[in-house]
C-alpha cells in the first residue's frame, strides 16, 4: 500500500467518524425535541406540573 493510499484512507476514516458523531448528535437532539410534553393545559385535562414552560 502506498503512502498516498494510506493518507486517503486515513482522511476518509476521519471524515466518516466525524459524520457518524454529527449524525448521532443530530438524532439525539431530534429525539429530545420530539419527546417534550405539551406545556399548555388542555380543556378537561389536569394542569401541567410547570405552568410556565
pLDDT tens for residues 30-50?
998 887 666 666 677 666 666
* DSSP code string of 6-53: HHHHHHHHHHHHHHHHHHHHHHHHHHHHHTPPP-SPPTTSPPPSSS--
Sequence spans of domains, the chain: 1-35
Q: Provide, rounded to the nearest whole percent, the portion of the chain with pLDDT above 70.
A: 70
Give this prediction's pTM.
Answer: 0.61
Instruction: State the average pLDDT over residues 15-39.
Output: 88
Which pLDDT does position 28 carry in this prediction?
94
Amino acid at each position: 500500500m502506498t503512502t498516498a493510499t494510506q493518507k486517503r484512507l486515513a482522511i476518509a476514516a476521519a471524515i466518516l467518524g466525524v459524520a457518524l458523531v454529527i449524525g448521532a448528535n443530530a438524532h439525539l437532539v431530534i429525539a429530545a425535541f420530539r419527546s417534550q410534553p405539551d406545556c399548555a393545559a388542555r380543556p378537561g385535562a389536569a394542569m401541567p406540573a410547570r405552568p410556565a414552560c
